A and B are shown apart, each in its own frame.
Chain A
Amino acid sequence: MRKRQPKTYTRLTHPLIRDSRDEPFRQASWEEALDRAARGLARNRGAFGMFSCARATNEMNYVAQKFARVVMGTNNVDSCNRTCHAPSVAGLSAAFGSGGGTSSYEEIEHTDVIVMWGSNARFAHPIFFQHVLKGIRNGARMYAVDPRRTSTAEWAESWMGLNVGTDIPMAHAIGREIIHAGLTNEAFIERATSGFEEYKALVEPWTLSLAEKVTGVPAAAIRELAHAYARAERAQLCWTLGITEHHNGTDNVRALINLSLLTGHVGRYGSGLQPLRGQNNVQGGGDMGAIPNRLPGFQDILDPDTRMKFESAWNTVIQPHYGLNLTQMFEAMEEGELKAVYCIGENPAQSEADSEQAVRRMRQLDFLVVQDIFLTKTAELAHVVLPATAGWAETDGTTTNSERRVQRVRRAVTPPGEAREDIDIICELAARLGHEWKYADAQAVWNELRSVSPDHYGMTYERLEQYQGIQWPCPSTEQLEPTYLHGRLWEADPARRGLPAPFGIVQHDPPVDLTDEEYPIRLTTGRRLDSYNTGVQSGSFASPLRRGEYVELCPEDAERYGVVVGEEVRVTSRRGSVVAPVWVDPALRPGLAFMTMHFPDEVDTNQLTIEANCPIAGTAEFKASAIRIEKLPVATIVR
């Protein structure tokens, strides 16, 4: 078979500038590049957006959002959390007032039932899955809910291969079965939740047999999962992008949270909800306020007291309304309302759904400055490119993982050429725009964050080192909080119990991109074990597992189209068309195809995906496009 080497990127070592997009880049001094970047941003005040980086440190994200809010006077700051787990944050905060996963990895080793929903953690989060395996070895039963029979599902008690986009019918049917079997946790529902009666009415139509019809999963299997989850002393509900990357991702998350409220599987050791985050610091980026609706410490911008605190700390005025999220910023580009973007470490030209549209919109910008370690496809669209350091190996700071654990990142290697740390660069730009910020080092930034975020106050660098990371909340420098969130829901005293968690009243809404005679195949997307996102980072090491991009079909479909492994076919959706070789995977079912976004320079999968966005969180429906497969006129079998 053809040996395909993905495009490898070399590090940026000098600032690059150009006068217009038609010209090639030329190398520039830092002075010249920064002056030019400052001018470009200054003339677009009021039409500015910041793409912060879910891969960089907390400290960098803190300074980046401060730049947007203080220097540019806008809340238009966001990151690629929007393309993955924003619905989890939105759903969890709507139910519990806080957007983090409620449990810890260690707890899953000591639970009784584990539900992996829309998550191929064995591939996408391998070390988390080791904790799951410990749990299974300790006697826990695991259930996998996924359209594909993934390598995660291989470890399951039962695999529920539901149709793409039928998660809500599945969840509602489980909820109804729990109610009808009398397995609800009545005391918990009574004391710690609200809206149960409405929820009960909502799920009543979703009988097991109706759910079987809609989801394709046998009624008996759904019933078994419902009973196992409800009867367990402890249970963990984990999900990944199979839940969130839908046009109704937040509704999907709410539907899952409902099950934990019904059974009291939240707020206790070993019982909880665990969204598995996709980037090393996507949790931290949001915690640091690099999102349009929250200030650092996940504090709501609409709260006047919070704003006042930050206004006096930063000596500024904070806009009393939410900013635009990433998706809305792209729409604002189209409408000419957003004219300048400062993009740090993101590659939206390849990571956004409907990538052609994203590129076209970025081309309309008056000014784009990209700060990255590589000349990515996005950087190629810029006016100024600033070479940065690799957050994880070339800077000091912290990142926050999926279990809310803040951990130290340390500088191990010296960056190449003239590359500079993100925080230095942002501060240089801030100075040119009239704000002299002085941070001696990352720790100084962190201590400023600690002073404004109660949840992080207790985490000094010394303590982070001592405990190998600390989970938020950590309000005290003297003690540590429990490893799980929302224990308050179990308090007997109503005052300490706080606000009840509302059931989410959400309706089933099938995928936007319907399959029909013209586009009969459902395409879903995901990750492979050895690759990562747009491949800029993972393409560089010589993985023996890497085989490049394929369109994966089930054996039945491959036979129906008369195609064999390695044969190139045309894959067409309502938005675009690509040519990709075929791979046959028996884990798929007839009518279901799978691709990744790891090799966009080979096969740009996101030309096919649909930009149908969740109205609450703005996440696109990467998981459900309708496509057709066409055999190429002359078979080009690549061997």
Chain B
Amino acid sequence: MTAIPLGVPRRLVEFTIDGQEARVPEGSTILDACRAAGKDVPTLCEGDTLRPKNACRVCVVEVEGSRTLVPACSRKAEPGMEVRTGTERARHSRKIVLELLASSVDLSTTAQVAGWIKEYKAKPDRFGPDAARLGEEPKVDNELYVRDYDKCILCYKCVDACGDQWQNTFAISVAGRGFDARIAVEHDAPLTDSACVYCGNCIEVCPTGALSFKSEFDMRAAGTWDETKQTETTTVCAYCGVGCNLTLHVQDNEIVKVTSPHDNPVTHGNLCIKGRFGYQHVQNRD
């Protein structure tokens, strides 16, 4: 009758990565093992609090005996597996993925991507300026957060965070098929007419900055956003008694963004509208 199994001790799986012995607990992914071994495998759609979506294919590696390249973020490590992370084939595939994404989407606020483009010698410009997929204005329909779909790589992380994996609000989803696929709320309405509860848990997982705090959006527009001048301090939310951990991003003594540690036992990186956006009262200073 009890809903969960009582958890058996996890065995260690032994296999090789680039010829080196690797040992990880059963159930770990190839990506977990690569990270533990200090290998830099690029990822975009992978989220540490979300189930793998296999959407971006930038983390692909070669596995001996496998006809196709496999996504490291979702493929579980198996005993005796021979994984190669830096083969010509894997690197070429990553390069193409980066070129296709960077030519069609604005990746200017995607962490680390500039370094990968350089490392893989990707040339997104070769597809010409017409490759840009959308070319539309950012959607600014409320005071809390902005949706800039020119920056969206359709990784689905926001959909999963809003849906059954965490928030269970189901305000955002994928609309359209094929080339017309895009992230939207029902009937592509403004957020204020949607089911959105402004928890911002989609912003928390967005890898490209397509979803961002309005404070960040405005400061970027004004040219004042400067992450080198920001401090990050983790404290506890001042609202209800649940005790969510908040990481306050502070620039010039102003809170400019709020996140939550993804490994926190209370929040797992999730917050509600009050914790995420309800900080203004502290800085109503005059």
Contacts and interface: CB of A to CB of B under 8 A. Distances in A.
A410 B271 CA distance: 18
B236 A130 contact: no
Contacts of A545: 197-198, 273
A530 B280 CA distance: 13
B285 A532 contact: no
Interface residues of B, number: 60
A529 interface: yes
A440 B70 CA distance: 56
Interface stretch (B21-29, B56-64, B174-182, B261-269): B261-269
Interface stretch (A313-321, A389-397, A422-430, A573-581): A389-397
Nearest to B193: A544
A218 B271 CA distance: 37
A276 B3 CA distance: 23
Interface string B165-204: 0111000000000000000000000011000111100000
B242 A140 contact: no
B235 A401 contact: no
Given A110-B3, A401-B241, A532-B239, A414 B253 contact: yes
Contact of B270 (A112, A130, A529, A539): A130
Contacts of B3: 110-112, 135, 138-140, 234
A463 to B, nearest CB: 15
Interface in A397-418: 399-403, 405, 407-414, 416-417
A354 to B, nearest CB: 24
Interface in A71-117: 105-106, 110-112
Given A9-B284, A130-B167, A393 B265 contact: no
Contacts of B278: 530, 532, 537-538, 540-541, 543
A127 B248 contact: no
A125 B240 contact: yes
Interface in A270-284: 270, 276-283
A525 to B, nearest CB: 16
Interface in A252-288: 270, 276-283
Contacts of A10: 284-286
Interface of B: 1-4, 142-144, 164, 166-168, 191-192, 196-199, 231, 233-246, 248, 250, 253-255, 261, 263-268, 270-275, 277-286
Interface of A: 8-11, 13, 55, 105-106, 110-112, 124-128, 130, 133, 135, 137-140, 155, 231-234, 270, 276-283, 373-374, 390-394, 399-403, 405, 407-414, 416-417, 468-469, 529-530, 532, 536-545
The 9 closest A-B pairs by CB, nearest first: A401-B243, A277-B241, A542-B143, A126-B272, A412-B233, A392-B238, A540-B281, A412-B248, A139-B3
Given A105-B265, A401-B241, A408-B234, 12 more contacts: A112-B1, A130-B268, A281-B241, A373-B281, A374-B281, A401-B266, A403-B243, A405-B243, A532-B278, A537-B239, A538-B274, A541-B277
